[in-house]
């Protein structure tokens, strides 16, 4: 991948090419964990779980079939430059969210650290993830972190 040094500091999200956009993903996998909403309006509450999409590799934090994910999992949504504002549920550590909010990337982000496993080393991934296929009662897997 041929990326300009520190491209995220010099380009807006809208100016990034496909390779740059994809490189922003830190590989935490948090967006691939199931969430659910309870209530409506002002009483609406978003719950995060440690229930992962069945395609997520729980160790690496990466999709096991990234190119076919939309065919294999109808719940999978593509994050794009156009729909990013609708993804307000992204974790507070997510590079897309950080840049959208005008904040810097964390030191552990692979683009800064230069290490592909820096997310794992920084202990950013969700602990004790479980695949959706192995879950009966979702309420047992609700977590506070996101």
pLDDT at 1 exceeding the cut of 70: no
Predicted confidence at residue 88, as pLDDT, reads 83
Token couple for 74: 């109808």
Nearest one of 94, 92, 118 to 107, comparing CA atoms = 118
**How does residue 37 score in pLDDT terms, banded at 50, 70 and 90?**
confident
Q: List pLDDT tens digits, range 6-30.
A: 999 999 999 999 999 999 999 999 9
- Could you tell me which residues come within 8 angstroms of residue 26 by beta carbon, excluding any fewer than 6 positions away? 93, 94, 95, 108, 109, 110, 118, 119, 124
Average pLDDT over residues 57-76: 92
Predicted confidence at residue 40, as pLDDT, reads 84
How far is the first Cα of the chain from the last one, in angstroms, to the nearest whole number? 29
Distance of CA 11 to the CA centre of its chain: 21
CB 37 within 8 A of CB 44: yes
In Å, what is the CA distance from 82 to each residue of 67, 92, 114, 133, 143?
Answer: 20, 19, 28, 31, 29
In Å, what is the CA distance from 116 to each residue of 28, 79, 84?
Answer: 11, 21, 24
**What's the rounded Cα separation, in Å, for the pair 123 and 118?**
8
Average pLDDT over residues 34-50: 85
């Amino acid at each position: 991948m041929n990326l300009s040094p520190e491209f995220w500091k010099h380009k807006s999200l809208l100016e990034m090419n496909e390779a740059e956009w994809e490189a922003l993903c830190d590989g935490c996998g948090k967006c691939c964990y199931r969430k659910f909403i309870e209530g409506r309006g002002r009483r609406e509450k978003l719950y995060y779980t440690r229930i992962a999409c069945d395609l997520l590799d729980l160790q690496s934090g990466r999709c096991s079939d990234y190119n076919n994910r939309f065919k294999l999992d109808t719940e999978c949504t593509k994050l794009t430059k156009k729909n990013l504002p609708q993804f307000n549920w992204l974790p507070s550590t997510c590079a897309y969210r950080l840049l959208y909010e005008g904040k810097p990337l964390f030191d552990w982000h692979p683009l800064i650290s230069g290490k592909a496993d820096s997310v794992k080393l920084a202990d950013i991934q969700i602990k004790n993830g479980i695949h959706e296929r192995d879950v009966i009662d979702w309420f047992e897997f609700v977590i506070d972190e996101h």
